[in-house]
Structure 1
Amino acid sequence: MVQPNQSNKYDPFSLVSAEMGVLAKNIASLIGSGHPTLNRVSSYYFEAEGKNVRPLIVLLLSKALSNIPESERTRIIIDQYDVNDQEEFKGTPKAFSFAGQSPLDSISPLRVLHGINPSIVLNPLSKPMMDKKIYEKVDVKNGILPKQRRLSEITEMIHTASLLHDDVVDFSDSRRGRDSGNIAFTNKMAVLAGDFLLGRASVSLGRLRNSEVVELMSTAIANLVEGEFMQLKNTVIQPDLNQIENDNELKSIPEPTGKLSTQIHEYSISTPTSGVITHSENVNAAFQYYLHKTYLKTASLISKSSRSAAILAGCNEDIIENCYQFGRNLGLCFQIVDDMLDYTMTAELLGKPAGADLKLGLATAPVLFAWETKPELGPLIARKFSEKNDVELANRLVEETNGVERTRKLAESYCTEALKNLRQLPESDARSALELLTNSVLTRNK
């Protein structure tokens, strides 16, 4: 867990402890179902102690943004501190004016949301989520809008849904120190629970009544899938677009009919007519591919939720863009550190299998750095370390070339950029806490 020094006066967790303390409880009120087993599976990961970095970032950033004078917020009417009062901006429609402006209120009639038998109150969509006064009391004190708090909960729901899906795809057997969802239940139940979480998150997202935020967060969900597809392929050389790998074997897929445009990914390299791709070109393209995949799988959700928090606060374009870039740089730093820890930490400390990346055939930053000076790694990467002793050889070459230390330097560069973005915000305890959190991401051990 990202755990800064608790003695520090700018401890991130202390500043938003009230909101973080009820995070799981609030999410549970959003995802409940009339089916007891679905309830159990969808809430399974929220019961364990997770990093909770994403909602923490949203809450701290929201608190930091509250220090910007309303006169400097170009997306809200002066003296009106709610996104529902914002003026139209660059063609983006202002928030819907339907009855019920709180993120706790439904837009559609509850009888329609519930469906079959509205007299049976099983579905949380058909009853009040929670007492509004209790929900908003601490937000007023902390300068966090109720919609920003709900955004933090939505962000964690989307992230957790992706964990359920990822663990099925990656054949993981542990998560957060205990059996992963696919092991504790089944693959099918884990996938369905992840889908269910995304559905519930979408309902809560719609209730924010801000079309720009809905667009951003929905795109982040799509990015998670795009990133997973990039990871499944895990190479930039694509000699045959009509074949995919399936259990280390090539499988032919239906050829496109031509009715729709199916473009080659911008990070794909087609084998030139000469049949020669230089080692440098291959490695550089692999790094581009890796960083873009990392953005989609990890940094996209952090960056888009950070941008959304600034939009909900009515901030001007410069602040909104800095919040986005902060989330992007921090997200890249976070995942690069995660990839580094896979080479340096034990499974007990990580709370998930250690050394899993190579076993899954993934070429992350440490091995890509090693590949720069050890061309013999190329064939191993191409076959996804599937032959005997491939994993051991790759680990040895990473150690010989200081691949882990070079990965740390890469993470440091993104950490530095994230801190620069933060310093565009007014000085405040919340900003200092975010700076501490950013540095903690770089130095974490799990």
Structure 2
Amino acid sequence: MTVIWSRLSCIGLLNRGQRNISFFSNTTPSNWNKVVSDAEKIVGYPTSFMSLRCLLSDELSNVAMHVRKLVGTKHPLLNTARGFVYDSRNNLQMRGLVVLLMSKAAGPSQHTSSDLVSQDMVSGIYPSQRNLAEITELIHTAFLVHRGIVNLKEWANSDGTLKDMQFGNKMAVLSGDFLLANACTGLAQLNNTKVVELISSAIGDLVQGIYHEMPNNVEDKSLTDDITMVTWEEQMFLSHGALLAKSCQAAMELAKHEKDAQGLAYKYGKHLSLGYKLNSDLQPFMKSSSADPVTFGLNSAPVILHRQIVGQEKWHHQLQQAKTIGTQIDYTKLRSSIKLEDGITSTMDLCRYHSSKALESIQFFPSSEAHSALENIARAVTKF
């Protein structure tokens, strides 16, 4: 399988609706740099977290060459392509790293089979588990590329020519399909039916989650009164958490661990993902006043909790007051109204809850550097 470890998955893509689809991307850079740097040393080199400049395949180089045609446009794929060459200090690739750390923290199973004995472990991790970590990142990257497709109904002349935008969409589809095909090939080569079922179901969850996230039109973004935090968690798990949770479980399956250990790994991935999504949703409300425009999703956790606290009538009044021309919203003004209530503190509390659940799920794993690294990552979710 072609090795394609992409910083692309770390780039925060924005479509015309300003929907941030980055994940593990908005926490304090200095804190995350240290967390990841320490963790990479634990799982051993070479890892997939080096610069993509050293790992670009001929196929992806060819894709990047074609994407140059989009220079001068606002197609999201152009920002994605920049991630092939430039590392982003604020966006750190985490999924594959967590899978590797989980694999090492759990260690080999007491029920080691003959096929595992023949595999040479590197830094306490089986080659099949490293391949799984790669597959996880490939799948995530493929969906990031696909989600960057522009809705041409919302296309404006300032974005670029219609021909260029259509070309960008075509490249996004083909590039995403290419990455996904490589991931599926690698998945089949693992020769483990249960792992194939787990990761295939995670791909299905991603599709379902993204479908529910996408509004039918721009106005729908403000018409989500039926979304509760229960609904939010269900949708965010599908689109942001299922892949990591099931990949952690699959890593345990590859080492022949019992169902209990698999369940604990699954819970860690689930709660870590939800915790980080909550952390990401909080970031626009944590920043101090600046010249940069403020934007956040009306379906983000702080907004949903704020709406539940103040009630629908007051929420609609605040939303109406924040509107400028037509459906345009002054997000700075709306943020000020939201910060007066307890929606933000409630989101922080929920973030801490998922962090504690992630920590709880790995307490039975033996003490080790990898175990400590997983704990550090889970605790970092509460750094606002």
Q: Same fold (TM over 0.5)?
A: yes
Work out the CA distance in 2 between the residues paired with 1:427 and 1:309.
Answer: 18
**Amino acid of the residue matched to residue 274 of structure 2?**
L
Work out the CA distance in 2 between the residues paired with 1:219 and 1:438.
Answer: 25
Q: How do 1:359-370 and structure 2 match up within 5 A?
A: 362-370=298-306
Work out the CA distance in 1 between the residues paired with 2:245 and 2:233.
Answer: 14
* Match 1:432 to one of 362, 372, 376: 372
SS at match of 2:267: helix
Shift of 1:397: 2.3
1:342 aligns with 2:304: no
Mark the CA change 1:208 to 1:170 in structure 2 (over 3 Å): closer, same or farther.
farther
Q: Is the CA contact 2:44–2:122 (under 8 Å) kept in the aligned structure 1? A: no
**Amino acid of the residue matched to residue 41 of structure 2?**
S
Q: Is the CA contact 1:5–1:11 (under 8 Å) kept in the aligned structure 2? A: no
Mark the CA change 1:221 to 1:4 in structure 2 (over 3 Å): closer, same or farther.
same
1:232 aligns with 2:211: no
Work out the CA distance in 2 between the residues paired with 1:191 and 1:248.
Answer: 26
In structure 2, what is the equivalent of residue 199 of structure 1?
181
In structure 2, what is the equivalent of residue 357 of structure 1?
296
Mark the CA change 1:168 to 1:193 in structure 2 (over 3 Å): closer, same or farther.
same
In structure 1, what is the equivalent of residue 201 of structure 2?
219
TM-score by length of 2: 0.72
SS at match of 2:256: coil
Q: Is the CA contact 1:161–1:194 (under 8 Å) kept in the aligned structure 2? A: yes
Q: Is the CA contact 2:132–2:187 (under 8 Å) kept in the aligned structure 1? A: yes
Mark the CA change 1:63 to 1:39 in structure 2 (over 3 Å): closer, same or farther.
farther
1:318 aligns with 2:260: yes
Moved more, 313-322 or 20-29: 20-29
State the Cα deviation string for residues 103-150 of structure 1 (Å, max 9, x = none): xxxxxxxxxxxxxxxxxxxxxxxxxxxxxxxxx6xxx34111111111
Work out the CA distance in 2 between the residues paired with 1:307 and 1:25.
Answer: 31
In structure 2, what is the equivalent of residue 330 of structure 1?
272
Work out the CA distance in 2 between the residues paired with 1:210 and 1:414.
Answer: 31
Q: Is the CA contact 1:363–1:381 (under 8 Å) kept in the aligned structure 2? A: no
SS at match of 1:201: helix
In structure 2, what is the equivalent of residue 36 of structure 1?
62
In structure 1, what is the equivalent of residue 100 of structure 2?
59
- Identity in percent: 27
* Match 1:287 to one of 225, 229, 254: 229
Work out the CA distance in 1 between the residues paired with 2:105 and 2:115.
Answer: 15
Shift of 1:226: 1.1
Shift of 1:16: 2.1
In the alignment, structure 2 segments of 5+ residues that lack a partner are 1-24, 68-76, 155-163
Larger Rg belongs to: 1
Higher helix share: 2
Moved more, 420-429 or 322-331: 420-429
Work out the CA distance in 2 between the residues paired with 1:147 and 1:7.
Answer: 27
**Amino acid of the residue matched to residue 16 of structure 1?**
V
* Match 1:48 to one of 47, 71, 86: 86
1:150 aligns with 2:131: yes
Moved more, 10-19 or 298-307: 10-19
State the Cα deviation string for residues 360-412 of structure 1 (Å, max 9, x = none): xx311111121123232258889x98724463453122111132222111111
Work out the CA distance in 1 between the residues paired with 2:123 and 2:174.
Answer: 36
**Amino acid of the residue matched to residue 94 of structure 2?**
V
**Amino acid of the residue matched to residue 47 of structure 1?**
V
TM-score by length of 1: 0.62
Work out the CA distance in 1 between the residues paired with 2:243 and 2:36.
Answer: 28
Give the root-mean-square deviation of aligned CA atoms.
Answer: 3.8
